[in-house]
Amino acid sequence: MGQLIGRWIRGATLAPLALLTAGIAYAQEDDVAARLAALEEAVSGSASAYVDNSYLFLIGGLIVMFMAAGFCMLEAGLVRSKNAAMQATKNVTLFAVAGLMFWVVGYNMAYPAETTLMGLLGTTPGPWSGGDLSIESEDGYAPASDWFFQMVFVATAASIVSGTVAERIKIWPFLIFTAVLTAFIYPIVASWEWGGGYLDSEWGFSDFAGSTLVHSTGGWAALTGAIIIGARKGKYSGGHVNPMPGSNIPLAALGTFILWFGWFGFNGASQLAAGTAADINSVAQIFANTNMAAVGGVLAAMVTTAILYKGKLDATMIFNGAIGGLVSITAEPLAPSMGLSVLIGAVGGVLVVVSVPLLDKFKIDDVVGAIPAHLVCGIWGTMIVPLSNGDASYLGQLVGVALTGVFVVVASSVIWLALKFTLGVRPSEEDEEMGLDRAEIGLEAYPEFSNR
């Protein structure tokens, strides 16, 4: 009987409040059966929370994983037909590379047991050391559910890079950069906040689901790559911008809707718990605010393009307005009201529209508009957090944005330049003109339109 009670007590450690209640019952009841019933009730409550928390990670992870399909469809639709198969191939393979590298080294870099260099670097690199996945964790959720949820995030940063540098990069150098980004660059940045590192401990930096840690990280890496690799052939020839329309706007629209859907898992499951009424209420609030930020982004981008382009609407700007709104709310999707969420997303939509011609002015070729949507809106979303979250400070947010930018730009530049001067990153002019579908993939997405 003593061993049975001991097992019940150990199982109830997942619910301290329930155990306290059970302990009181133990002290007040003389009847052994009553004491055991109280402990059993505590354990039952713990098991329910354990299941709910694990389901949140698993379902949220599945939804975030589907964002990979959204990025694939968006990018395949916005590149020219002669590069669509290449873009689809890159998106499938980058997800596989990201998953492998996050297991090999990335997870332990992002969530280290200890840190060094003032919390700037984790000290436990190497394959994930979560132990036996079949053993129930005392953290309140299945260990593998947490790993899976954290893993699907990492491919998002690589997808941002993929869209920006599309149509003029060879696949193997791109995948090598993806491996470094997902194994080291992204995990180190994530560790500064989510792993309890420098930004969290020293500056009180707040980034709920990754406006900076995920989206700006991918955006800075994409910006660096676009500058070092250069623009597509003919994009800025003749002293002006030469439009290169995408091959399939309906496909890009589908990608936008998939990403919009995926963001509910991205932000909602970042609550990290669903075992109490308060937690699930927070998840519901996050869903609502996330949706309304996208609404604001779409409508603001639509109005802004109509004003700037004399009544003409640009579908790609509107699609990226939705993404810009979603990125903007990601740093703090719980605290704002619905109305404020609409305004935060609307500013993101405007920023997307005005940033695109600014990039063209500096001859920075961003094929899908990922830099405005993910980098610019990621910075905006991070900096506006203190407006609704009193625990964050504008100085702390600024330090987080700046430190992330400096680190990612320097690290990415080293990798891009190393690839450029060793393997080479660009295809030949002949291959670029022919299209990477034929040059590198050997299979065309639209063979009847291969030269468009």
Q: What is the pLDDT of residues 88-130, one digit of tens each?
A: 999 999 999 999 999 988 888 898 867 777 667 766 655 555 5
What's the pLDDT score for residue 12?
A: 40
Using CA atoms, how far apart are residues 11 and 128, in angstroms rounded to an integer? Answer: 25
Instruction: Give yes or no for residue 13 having a pLDDT over 50.
Output: no
8 pLDDT tier (thresholds 50, 70, 90): very low
Using CA atoms, how far apart are residues 425 and 421, in angstroms rounded to an integer? Answer: 8
407 vs 116, residue with greater confidence: 407
Mean pLDDT, residues 245-268: 97
4 vs 422, residue with greater confidence: 422
What's the pLDDT score for residue 45?
A: 56
335 pLDDT tier (thresholds 50, 70, 90): very high
Dump pLDDT digits (tens) for 288-327: 999 999 999 999 999 999 999 988 999 999 999 999 999 9
Dump pLDDT digits (tens) for 125-148: 555 555 555 666 777 888 889 989
pTM of the model: 0.87
Mean pLDDT, residues 157-178: 96
- Averaged pLDDT of the chain: 88
Nearest Cα to 184, choosing from 91, 114, 108, 262?
A: 108
Instruction: Give yes or no for residue 185 having a pLDDT over 70.
Output: yes
Mean pLDDT, residues 385-407: 97
Query: Which of 104-113, 218-227, 435-444 comes out lowest in average pLDDT?
Result: 104-113
Instruction: Give yes or no for residue 411 having a pLDDT over 50.
Output: yes
Nearest Cα to 149, choosing from 197, 214, 217?
A: 214
What amino acid occupies position 129? S
Burial of 114 from C-beta contacts in 10 A (0-12 / 13-18 / 19+): exposed
Whole-Å CA distances, 211 to 190, 234, 331, 374, 378: 11, 33, 5, 8, 4
Cβ-based neighbours of 258, under 8 Å, separated by 6 or more: 66, 67, 69, 70, 73
418 pLDDT tier (thresholds 50, 70, 90): very high
Mean pLDDT, residues 53-67: 96
Percent of the chain surpassing pLDDT 70: 85
